[in-house]
Amino acid sequence: MDTDPAIQCSDCQACCCQLPVRVLPGDAPPEHFLDEDEDGYLIMAKADDGWCVALDREQMCCGIYEQRPFVCREFAMGGGDCAEVRDDWRRIALSLR
Ligand code: SF4
Ligand code: SF4
């Protein structure tokens, strides 16, 4: 998979941590961070502002890095989905100015 080395999580507002995250068999995030979606699937819970509850708000990075679900582990920094979610974020931020 092609990734853009110019894109770094350290230079990002953790945009991808607002995306829905399904928790799969074999994942083991702390139970108090779990929720169920409308179809009854296990997901990472979200705070009222839309970010995953496991996000470390001071560092703006995953607060359960070693236990993060498969979906998060597969989300490549600088990959196509990452670039797309960053573009969406930028568009929304500009529209709010
Ligand atoms: S993976 Fe991409 S969207 Fe997610 S925090 Fe890192 S740079 Fe931002
Ligand atoms: S578990 Fe970690 S990497 Fe995954 S969405 Fe939540 S804060 Fe982000």
Distance 84 CA to ligand 1 centre (A): 10
Global pTM? 0.92
Distance 97 CA to ligand 2 centre (A): 27
Q: Is 60 exposed, middle or buried (CB count within 10 Å of its CB: 0-12, 13-18, 19+)?
A: middle
Atom of ligand 1 nearest to the CA of 11: 7
Residues 18-43, buried b or exposed e (16+ Cβ, 10 A)? beebebeeebebeeebbeeeeeeebb
Mean pLDDT of 59-83: 96
Quote the CA–CA distance of 70 and 42 in Å, as a whole number: 13
Of all residues in the chain, the percent with pLDDT exceeding 70 is 99
Selected residue with higher pLDDT from 10 and 64: 64
The two structure tokens encoding residue 13: 């507002």
